[in-house]
Amino acid sequence: MALLVQSADARSEDGGSSDLAKQAQNPVADLISVPFQNNLNFRVGPHEQQQNILNIQPVIPINLNEDWNLITRWVLPVISQPPLTVTGDREFGLGDLNPTLFLSPSKPTHGIIWGIGPTFLVPTATDDALGARKWGAGPAAVILTTQGPWV
Amino acid at 48: E
With a cut of 50, say whether residue 8 has pLDDT above it.
no
Question: Who has greater pLDDT, 12 or 85?
Answer: 85
Q: How confident is the model at residue 70 (pLDDT cuts 50, 70, 90)?
A: very high
Number of independent structural domains in the chain: 1
Higher pLDDT, 92 or 145: 92
Judged by DSSP in three states, 58 sits in: coil
CA dist 105 and 86 (Å) reads 51
Using pLDDT thresholds of 50, 70 and 90, give the confidence band for residue 15.
low
* C-alpha to C-alpha distances, 8 to 16, 30, 84, 90, 150, nearest whole angstrom: 13, 10, 48, 45, 24
- Amino acid letter at 25? Q
What is the arithmetic mean of pLDDT over 123-131?
Answer: 96
Residue 87 lies in a domain: yes
| Nearest partner of 142 among 125, 126, 118, 123, judged by Cα | 118
Please compute the mean of the pLDDT values over residues 99-123 and round it to a whole number: 94
Supply φ then ψ for residue 96, to 5 degrees.
-75, 140
| 103, part of any domain | yes
Write out the residue range of the structural domain in which residue 105 sits: 2-145
Amino acid 95: pLDDT: 98
DSSP state of 134: S
Task: Report pLDDT for 12.
Answer: 46
Residue 151 lies in a domain: no
pLDDT band at 151 (very low <50, low <70, confident <90, very high): low
pLDDT score at 48: 95
| 77: exposed, middle or buried (Cβ count in 10 Å: 0-12, 13-18, 19+) | buried
In a domain, 150, yes or no: no
Residue pLDDT, tens place only, 24-64: 666 677 788 899 999 999 999 999 999 999 999 999 999 99
**Better pLDDT: 147 or 88:** 88
Collect contacts of 117-123 with beta carbons under 8 A, ≥24 apart. 117/70, 117/141, 121/96, 121/97, 122/96, 122/97, 122/98, 123/96
Q: Provide the pLDDT for residue 16.
A: 64
Domain membership of residue 56 (yes or no) is yes
In a domain, 59, yes or no: yes
Please name which of 122, 119, 95 lies closest in space to residue 27, comparing C-alpha atoms: 119
